[in-house]
Structure 1
């Protein structure tokens, strides 16, 4: 799957703030691929803020439960 990690991170940050979250994601936020699925992990110094999964339609969906491979 082709994706632009900077674009996905920017979109995830926009969704994060649109949802009313005030915590600022840090530079260590990143895009991960686990078992063929693409995730955007927003982090700051306190740990993981939110995790978004890229759907087959190209949309980002916020996850309530994160894959166990993700460490805070």
Structure 2
């Protein structure tokens, strides 16, 4: 798996989410979306969106508290 690949970025965001201490478990529904010229990892499970991470560079992600409305998917 390439370091900057979508799968690697999703895995990195899920690991960061799990370190946050939330009892909810992410599922295989997590994905990458683009909005306003930025790439975001949406950490999700069957219940819905749990966290959003901004892709920084090619290999890192940073959790954001607010994100573009276009990312609000159910």
Determine if the TM-score, normalized by the shorter chain, exceeds 0.5: yes
Q: What SS does structure 1 have at the residue aligned with 2:70?
A: coil
1:1-72 maps to which residues of 2 (within 5 A)? 3-56=4-57, 58-70=59-71, 71-72=73-74
* CA–CA separation in structure 1 for the residues paired with 2:27 and 2:58: 27
TM-score (norm 1): 0.84
Bigger RCO of structures 1 and 2 (CA < 8 A, at least 6 apart): 2
* CA–CA separation in structure 2 for the residues paired with 1:24 and 1:66: 21
* CA–CA separation in structure 2 for the residues paired with 1:54 and 1:9: 10
Contact residue 13 and residue 61 of structure 2 kept, 8 A: yes
Aligned length: 70
The verdict on how the C-alpha distance between 1:27 and 1:35 changes in structure 2, with shifts beyond 3 A counting, is: same
Give unmatched runs, 5+ long, in structure 2. Answer: none
